[in-house]
């Protein structure tokens, strides 16, 4: 009984609190607090003078809010990025960003700890060659979204792309040594890191994937706690982390070009630019 009462009270308080925020401001549905896109969105709120609150969540939470809103035809604005399966599933668009807060064309980079190349030249060279196209990465993300385990989705990708995989591996013969790959639990990086793991394993390495938040990930590469990562969105998205750690890590290469981040809305939302968000604030509550 007490539990019921308490729960009721918490729910009630939660609702009231939320309603009063909703009264004042529109909401932008965000993802994990440490993501670069969250930092840029705080800057966007500031620089565009947006009367909006950024709600942090997770990549999965954002995607389920988006799905719910679209299923009921509601307006929603989320922090979004490409490649991502949501663009295959829904009709979505980026809001124009005339101030360029989110940068232009982004790339996903491979980073390694200093010394990784000398300690493990074979694994390093695979990392430096690992690159693919947006739609290739998105296909793995979509397979996972459709219910495959990340491992299975990666296995299937590898089985379907033997030429690409051998272009990454080349003549490298791994000696079974351990490679630790840091990553963040974003849908995009779950997909790519699982594929990289399988590729390194196929080449003869033992791979450990270590999931951490974005800030700690850059730190881990810089201190050598992990060997490498392919979770770096640059030059703009994670510039705060890169500026802090650049001197203490190695920029290995580009894993994917033509990436993009920004504020994303369903197609039926009738504005086209971040500039216009304040004028339709009430629709986004
Ligand atoms: N993202 C997707 C990340 C990288 C992967 C755009 C959410 C970010 O740092 O914001």
Can you give the pLDDT at residue 23?
A: 55
28/21 Cα distance (integer angstroms): 12
Can you give the pLDDT at residue 25?
A: 80
> How far, in Å, is the centroid of ligand 1 from the Cα of 1?
44
**91-to-7, 66, 110 alpha-carbon distances in Å:** 38, 11, 30
Tokens representing 66 are: 């988006």
Can you give the pLDDT at residue 245?
A: 98
Structural element, H or E, at residue 22:
helix 2-24
CB–CB of 138/87 below 8 Å? yes
> How far, in Å, is the centroid of ligand 1 from the Cα of 233?
6
Using CA of residue 145, residue 151, residue 152, residue 156, what is the dihedral sign?
positive
> How far, in Å, is the centroid of ligand 1 from the Cα of 2?
42
Tokens representing 117 are: 């190349």
Of 261, 258, 13, 14, the C-alpha closest to 132 is 258
Name 55's Cβ contacts closer than 8 Å, sequence gap at least 6.
Answer: 27, 28, 29, 30
Can you give the pLDDT at residue 285?
A: 74
Tens-digit pLDDT profile for the chain (285 aa)? 444 444 444 444 434 444 444 456 899 999 999 999 999 999 999 999 999 999 999 999 999 999 999 999 999 999 999 999 999 899 999 999 999 999 999 999 999 999 999 999 999 999 999 999 999 999 999 999 999 999 999 999 999 999 999 999 999 999 999 999 999 999 999 999 999 999 999 999 999 999 999 999 999 999 999 999 999 999 999 999 999 999 999 999 999 999 999 999 999 999 999 999 999 999 987
Tokens representing 189 are: 């990086």
Residue linked to tokens 């980026």? 94
Pocket flag, ligand 1, residue 203 (CB < 6 Å): no
Pocket flag, ligand 1, residue 57 (CB < 6 Å): no
Phi then psi for residue 164, to 5 deg, are: -60, -45
CB–CB of 37/261 below 8 Å? yes
Q: Which of 28, 33, 37, 245 to mutate to test the pocket of ligand 1 (most atoms within 8 A of CB)?
A: 37
**29-to-33, 160, 186, 244 alpha-carbon distances in Å:** 11, 35, 15, 27
Pocket flag, ligand 1, residue 82 (CB < 6 Å): no
Q: Which residues pair with 183 in a beta bridge?
A: 211
DSSP assigned state of 272: -
Q: Which of 33, 35, 218 to mutate to test the pocket of ligand 1 (most atoms within 8 A of CB)?
A: 35
> How far, in Å, is the centroid of ligand 1 from the Cα of 94?
15
Can you give the pLDDT at residue 30?
A: 97
**257-to-13, 83, 96, 235 alpha-carbon distances in Å:** 46, 10, 20, 11
């Amino acid at each position: 009984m007490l539990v019921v009462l308490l729960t009721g009270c918490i729910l009630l308080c939660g609702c009231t609190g939320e309603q009063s925020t909703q009264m004042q401001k529109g909401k932008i549905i965000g993802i994990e607090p440490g993501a670069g896109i969250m930092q840029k969105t705080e800057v966007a709120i500031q620089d565009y003078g947006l009367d909006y609150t950024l709600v942090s969540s997770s990549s999965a939470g954002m995607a389920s809010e988006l799905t719910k809103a679209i299923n009921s035809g509601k307006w929603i604005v989320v922090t979004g990025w490409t490649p991502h399966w949501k663009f295959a599933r829904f009709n979505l668009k980026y809001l124009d960003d005339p101030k360029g807060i989110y940068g232009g064309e982004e790339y996903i980079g491979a980073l390694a700890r200093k010394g990784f190349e000398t300690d493990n030249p074979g694994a390093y060279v695979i990392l430096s060659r690992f690159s693919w196209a947006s739609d290739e990465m998105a296909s793995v993300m979509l397979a996972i979204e459709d219910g495959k385990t990340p491992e299975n989705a990666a296995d299937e990708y590898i089985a379907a792309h033997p030429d690409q995989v051998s272009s990454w591996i080349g003549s490298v013969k791994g000696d079974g040594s351990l490679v630790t790959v840091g990553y963040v639990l974003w849908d995009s990086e779950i997909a790519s890191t699982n594929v990289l793991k399988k590729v390194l394993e196929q080449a003869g390495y033992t791979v450990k994937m270590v999931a951490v938040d974005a800030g700690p990930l850059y730190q881990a590469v810089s201190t050598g706690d992990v060997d490498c990562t392919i979770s770096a969105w640059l030059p703009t998205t994670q510039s705060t982390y890169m500026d802090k750690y650049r001197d203490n890590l190695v920029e290995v290469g580009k894993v994917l070009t033509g990436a993009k981040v920004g504020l994303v809305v369903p197609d039926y939302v009738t504005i086209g630019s971040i500039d216009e968000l304040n004028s339709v604030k009430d629709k986004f509550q």
